[in-house]
Amino acid sequence: MGTSVVRSRKGIGFDDAVKRIVEALEPERIILFGSRARGDHRVDSDYDLLIELRSLHGSRFELAAKAHEAAQERNFPLDVVVASCEEIETSRLEQADFVCHALEDGLVIYEKSARQWLERA
C-alpha cells in the first residue's frame, strides 16, 4: 500500500487500519472517498471508506462496528459505509448519487482480486 498517509499521533496509521479491516471483513474492495480521496481535506478530516462485501452477513451497523473494532487503535477519524457487491452495482446502474460519487471520485485502496493475483505471481 505504500507510505502511510497518517503517522503523526500514537496508534496505527491508515495502511495498518486498512489491513486490519481486510483481515476482519474479507471485503471484495475498499474505496477511499470524500475529501481525502479528492485531496481537498483538512488536517482533521475523517477518512471515508466504502467497504464492498460479496454479501452482507449481519446488519450494516454490525459490520461497520466490526470494521471500527478492527481498526480501533487508529490515530485518525474514520467513517465506514458497508454495502454488498450487488447493492453497489444496482446503485451504480440506477445512478444513485452517493455510490456514483464514491465510485467516480474515490480511490480503490484494496481489491481482493488484485491481492489474489499478486499472491500467485
The CATH H-level (homologous superfamily) assignment of domain 14-120 is: Beta Polymerase, domain 2 (3.30.460.10)
Q: What pLDDT was estimated at residue 2?
A: 44
Q: What pLDDT was estimated at residue 1?
A: 44
Q: What pLDDT was estimated at residue 119?
A: 66
Q: What's the mean pLDDT in 55-84?
A: 94
State how far the Cα of 111 lies from the Cα of 121, in Å rounded to an integer.
Answer: 16
State how far the Cα of 53 lies from the Cα of 83, in Å rounded to an integer.
Answer: 6
Domain ranges of the chain: 14-120
Q: What is the pLDDT of residues 2-52, one digit of tens each?
A: 444 444 456 789 999 999 999 999 999 999 999 999 999 999 999 999 999
Cα separation values, 95 from 74, 101, 111, Å: 33, 9, 22
Q: What's the mean pLDDT in 66-81?
A: 94
Q: What is the pLDDT of residues 85-120, one digit of tens each?
A: 999 999 888 888 888 889 888 999 999 987 666 665
Q: Are 57 and 36 in contact (CB under 8 A)?
A: no
